[in-house]
Amino acid sequence: MRDQPAVLLPPRRPPSPDPPISNKGKPDILALDRHGKGLLYQESSSDVFGGSSARASPALRREHPTDVEQKARPTFFTDLSTTSSRSGVAAEALRGRLRKYFSIRVEPPAVVIADYTPGSCHTSKIRILNASSRVQRVELDPPREKITMVNPRGLANQQILSPLLIAPGLEAEITIEFIAPQPTVVTSIRDKISTSSIENDRFKTYMGSISVEFGGKNESIVVPLSAHPAGAKLEFNPILDFGTLVACGAGRKNEEEMDERNWVTRSVTITNIGFRRADYICLYDRDLPIRITPNRGSLASVFEEDINNKSLSSSCTLQVSFLPSQSGTFREEVFVELQNSFSRDPSAGIHWAPAPPQRVSISATVLSHKLRLRDADNTRDLDPQNLDFGVIYYGQNVFLPAKLENSGPTVVKWVITYAGNNAPMVPGKRVTAASEPRASEDDLNTDRNTSMSSLPSEGILMPYCSTMVNFKFTPQIVEPSRGFKSIRVAVPPREYRVPMQLKIINSSAHQAGEEPININLIGGACPVLADISSHKVHFEPTFQGSQRVVELRLRNTGSHLPFRFRFEKIAHFKADPETGTLKPQSEATINVRFQPHQLGLLKKALNCIISS
């Protein structure tokens, strides 16, 4: 038999001593870690999470596993179990080290005094806990600012307090007291100038700290202290509801075409209840159909009103306007932001953030009415708040035709009344100032109402049908109550604005889309203001067959409407031009010709007829 080549084997390591076993028959993890010279702890969780594993390292790989490794071969799941056990042991060891090095605990770790006011006193408490197993001697170093520290016996002291002995597991409570500076009463201008710097200090931020020393002053814990002044604070109703409104201005292209009377306005009162001046601004989407006036401003604090004799008010009223141009539910938010304030939330700690803006919720329900007014050609919707007749002369008649449509699926009984009346309008006797000794304002208002009417004023509309309604404007001159009627006094121009309501009287129950529609009839009336340079014309003796000419000036002194003039034809006299039109504030030259055809003294009246 041939000789086999010799195989060199690595030297065998001496067997390791048996690992320690716990009382329950399971290996002791900590003892196992010491038995393996820290190999298990060095591996940590790297074998699970893909780090540099100790088992994968050739230098640490053992070719002859121990008895423990032969009994329980490591797998992925056993590694997870081992890692979990190690994490728990490591956490317990960390807590033990914390107890060892930080045997004194202070809660809370920082003291924040928020919203202090001039002359007020604020308190806060801290607890010093002895978490060690022996009595701790604690010494406190109080702050040097206006923050006072009070010991458990209630004695205030600005110097280092006497040492506190805290037994294991017990705690001591310390009260932190902050006294804000008192307000200075200003009695003169000199006092006001001298106290200007004091007023600035009244709203300053105070910073300080308390040093908790223990362990023979070898160790200490510093507790930061801060006191922040009260800032501006706005108070207002956060909900603004316009209620149910009827859509207006359908078919309008932009906001400029909307009449100002279509805007619905509500008010919101903002009050500054803080101790500092508030500079606010209202933030909202300008494309929305809302307007806020004013959208920014300044409000004084209560302290400023008392000291400065209310030079700046602490409250103001915002006018919030909404245009119900589209049907549906409108819900939006307006943000009221303070531009000179900071958050006073104590949980924010020492580093405070700007105060968040406050919100105003605006809501409205816009409905399409069952009735609507359209022009006579049925090409566009009419604005019921602005039915304008224009300006006419007294005694004239003008009609504004409109088409009233029923856009609902039910029969509608409608009526047009004067505002405040329930009965339909009935043409009656016109009230003039001649029927009373003196013309009162009520008589003039009644005359305005009777000058405008609608024909017809009531009716019934079938579903999806329409009818014509003619609004009529007939302004009349109020006759004088005293004196001779033959003496005419120039009547000034007048504006007419008659409010009416278009109502649905189907039933007593109020239903959506059947709200009364407010109608405003607008018009103006003015007298004919014509003036001629001379009312008498004298011609020199003239031979028969020849002529003489006298020049006159005819003026239209009115500022609203033009008028037409026409001179009548009479024998021997002629006006040139005989007819024409004069615009407001203009004049025309009239040549009056005298051409006698017979002998004698000729006297005639040449009438000039003025018409609109």
> Which structure tokens are listed for 578?
């005989």
Alpha-carbon separation of residue 361 from 46, 238, 358, 594 (angstroms): 56, 6, 10, 82
pLDDT of residue 368: 76
Q: Are 140 and 149 in contact (CB under 8 A)?
A: yes
Q: What is the mean pLDDT of the chain?
A: 72
- Top-confidence residue, 391 or 45: 391
pLDDT of residue 80: 55
pLDDT of residue 538: 84
Cα diameter, the chain: 187
* DSSP 8-state code for residue 433: G
pLDDT of residue 114: 76
Query: At residue 474, does pLDDT exceed 50?
Result: yes
Query: At residue 280, does pLDDT exceed 50?
Result: yes
Task: Give 130-146 pLDDT, tens digit per residue.
Answer: 877 788 888 887 776 55
DSSP string over 114-135 = EEE-TT-EEEEEEEEEE-SSS-
Taking the C-alpha atoms of residue 508 and residue 357, their distance in angstroms, rounded to an integer, is 46
pLDDT band at 320 (very low <50, low <70, confident <90, very high): very high
* DSSP 8-state code for residue 434: G
pLDDT of residue 189: 41
Q: How many residues would you count in the chain?
A: 612
- Top-confidence residue, 19 or 472: 472
Segment 411-420 shows an average pLDDT of: 85
DSSP string over 296-319 = EEEE--HHHHHHTTSSS-SEEEEE
Q: Are 113 and 178 in contact (CB under 8 A)?
A: yes
Query: At residue 580, does pLDDT exceed 60?
Result: yes
Domains and CATH numbers, the chain: 29-101 (no CATH), 104-229 (2.60.40.10), 234-367 (2.60.40.10), 371-526 (2.60.40.10), 530-611 (2.60.40.10)
CA dihedral 285, 286, 291, 292 (to 10 degrees): 60
Query: At residue 600, does pLDDT exceed 80?
Result: yes
| Cis ω before 143 (30° cut-off from 0) | no
Query: At residue 349, does pLDDT exceed 60?
Result: no
Query: At residue 240, does pLDDT exceed 70?
Result: yes
pLDDT of residue 18: 53
H/E stretch holding 605: none
Query: At residue 21, does pLDDT exceed 60?
Result: no
pLDDT of residue 117: 72
pLDDT of residue 101: 56
User: Which has the minimum average pLDDT: 208-217, 451-460, 497-506, 527-536?
Assistant: 208-217
Query: At residue 86, does pLDDT exceed 70?
Result: no
pLDDT of residue 179: 79
Taking the C-alpha atoms of residue 534 and residue 59, their distance in angstroms, rounded to an integer, is 134
> Which structure tokens are listed for 293?
């006036």
pLDDT of residue 471: 92
Segment 307-320 shows an average pLDDT of: 74
Segment 342-353 shows an average pLDDT of: 47
pLDDT of residue 232: 79
Taking the C-alpha atoms of residue 464 and residue 238, their distance in angstroms, rounded to an integer, is 42
User: Which has the minimum average pLDDT: 304-318, 348-362, 424-438, 594-608?
Assistant: 424-438
User: Which has the minimum average pLDDT: 33-42, 44-53, 342-351, 421-430?
Assistant: 44-53
pLDDT band at 54 (very low <50, low <70, confident <90, very high): very low
pLDDT band at 41 (very low <50, low <70, confident <90, very high): very low
pLDDT of residue 154: 36
Q: Are 210 and 225 in contact (CB under 8 A)?
A: yes
Task: Give 522-576 pLDDT, tens digit per residue.
Answer: 999 888 888 888 888 888 888 888 888 888 888 888 888 888 888 888 888 888 8
Q: What does DSSP say about strands 358-367 and 239-246: parallel, antiparallel, or unpaired?
A: parallel
Other Cβ atoms within 10 Å of 403 Cβ, number: 16
How large a percentage of the chain has pLDDT more than 90? Answer: 4
Q: Which residue has the tokens 């209560």?
A: 302
- Top-confidence residue, 389 or 86: 389
pLDDT of residue 395: 84
User: Which has the minimum average pLDDT: 13-17, 81-85, 207-211?
Assistant: 13-17
> Which structure tokens are listed for 38?
């820290």
- Which range, 152-166, 310-324, 433-447, is most confident? 310-324
End-to-end Cα spacing for the chain: 151
pLDDT of residue 97: 63
- Top-confidence residue, 336 or 152: 336
Query: At residue 508, does pLDDT exceed 80?
Result: no
How large a percentage of the chain has pLDDT more than 70? Answer: 63
Helix (H, G, I), strand (E, B) or coil at 196: helix
Q: Are 515 and 490 in contact (CB under 8 A)?
A: no
Alpha-carbon separation of residue 295 from 268, 333, 336, 360 (angstroms): 12, 14, 9, 13
- Top-confidence residue, 32 or 324: 324
Segment 593-606 shows an average pLDDT of: 85
Taking the C-alpha atoms of residue 301 and residue 278, their distance in angstroms, rounded to an integer, is 7
Q: What is the pTM of this model?
A: 0.44
pLDDT of residue 90: 74
pLDDT band at 376 (very low <50, low <70, confident <90, very high): confident
Segment 183-188 shows an average pLDDT of: 50
pLDDT band at 401 (very low <50, low <70, confident <90, very high): very high
Taking the C-alpha atoms of residue 139 and residue 22, their distance in angstroms, rounded to an integer, is 45
Other Cβ atoms within 10 Å of 106 Cβ, number: 19
Q: What does DSSP say about strands 104-107 and 156-157: parallel, antiparallel, or unpaired?
A: unpaired
Query: At residue 509, does pLDDT exceed 80?
Result: no
- Top-confidence residue, 582 or 510: 582
Task: Give 90-111 pLDDT, tens digit per residue.
Answer: 777 776 666 555 678 888 888 8
- Top-confidence residue, 23 or 270: 270
pLDDT band at 432 (very low <50, low <70, confident <90, very high): very low
Alpha-carbon separation of residue 289 from 252, 262, 608 (angstroms): 13, 11, 55
β-sheet with 278-283: strand ranges across: 239-246, 358-367, 328-338, 278-283, 296-299
Residue 387's nearest CA partner among 258, 495, 259, 522 is: 522
- Top-confidence residue, 494 or 193: 494
Taking the C-alpha atoms of residue 298 and residue 280, their distance in angstroms, rounded to an integer, is 6
Taking the C-alpha atoms of residue 496 and residue 521, their distance in angstroms, rounded to an integer, is 8
Amino acid of residue 251: G
Query: At residue 350, does pLDDT exceed 50?
Result: no
